[in-house]
Structure 1
Amino acid sequence: MDSLLVANQVKGDYEAKDNKMIEYLKKTKELLQSFKEAEVVHISRSLNKKADVLSKLASVAFDHLAKDVKVETIKQPSIMEEMVASVETPGPCWMTPILRYLREGIVPEDKQGARRLRIRALQYEIIDGAL
């Protein structure tokens, strides 16, 4: 493959951190189990012209190639969307200050704490009353 990151994730040298990458890595390892023997090796694009052309095909309109090149477009991802479960806690937790800020604009009194909360709250939103 031409992605050093992905090759190292499959080999276990790097850790996949993004949720989608984790799911694709699981799927890849599952598919690798169907082979008696498999080796994942990084090959730079300059040494692998076919992989380079394939990687560029994804960003190019190829209607004009239909007669010369067989192209199959995969309409759905090979991993399913992740399920999200709602969790309720009986009392205050780490989410409480974020919820207070997003709902009511309440921040801690110290400037540094208020700044940290505002920055952290940018990653969240309230949907149907839940964070």
Structure 2
Amino acid sequence: MNIYGDSKLVANQVLGEYEVKKEDLIPYHQQALQLLKQLDDIHVAHVPRSANKLADALANLAATLALGAEESMQVPVCNRWVVSLLKYDWRQPIIYFLDHQNYPMILDTR
């Protein structure tokens, strides 16, 4: 299984090349390692955000949805692609990718 991430730091931490120094991130790191032990033939790689615009857009969207009531973030929206907060399932693009080994050109949120 190939696992791609846009954080070089996190990829290298998972690979054991870098140490996790932030105390609040150590439990997440340990959980990730436990999950990876359940999988065979794992390859972890860093992909720069500039090389994966769809993943970057989804990451920005997820960060926006996680903000508190008094916080805000600007998320660029290209073309007419608008996500309905009530009907959008963030897992769907991931499932699509795993099924088809490519990204959907347009996310249908209806």
TM-score band by shorter chain is: 0.5 to 0.7
Letter in 2 for 1:58: A
The residue that corresponds to 2:29 in the other structure is 25
Q: When the two structures are aligned, how many residues end up with a matched partner?
A: 70
- TM-score norm. by structure 2 comes to 0.55
* 2:54 paired residue among 41, 45, 50: 50
1:70 equivalenced with 2:74 (yes/no): no
- TM-score norm. by structure 1 comes to 0.47
Q: For residues 50 and 68 of structure 1, what CA distance do their matches in structure 2 show?
A: 19
1:7 equivalenced with 2:26 (yes/no): no
Percent sequence identity over aligned pairs: 39
In structure 2, list runs of 5 or more residues that go unmatched.
66-81, 92-110
Q: CA deviation at 1:39?
A: 1.1
RCO comparison, higher one (Cα < 8 Å, 6+): 2
CA RMSD of aligned residues (A): 2.1
Higher percent of residues as strand: 2
Letter in 2 for 1:71: W
Q: For residues 60 and 19 of structure 1, what CA distance do their matches in structure 2 show?
A: 24
Q: For residues 21 and 90 of structure 2, what CA distance do their matches in structure 1 show?
A: 31
Q: For residues 26 and 57 of structure 2, what CA distance do their matches in structure 1 show?
A: 26
The structure having more radius of gyration, on CA atoms, is 1
Letter in 1 for 2:21: K
Q: CA deviation at 1:58?
A: 2.2
**What secondary structure is seen at the aligned counterpart in 2 of 1:58?**
helix
In structure 1, list runs of 5 or more residues that go unmatched.
73-131
Q: CA deviation at 1:65?
A: 2.0
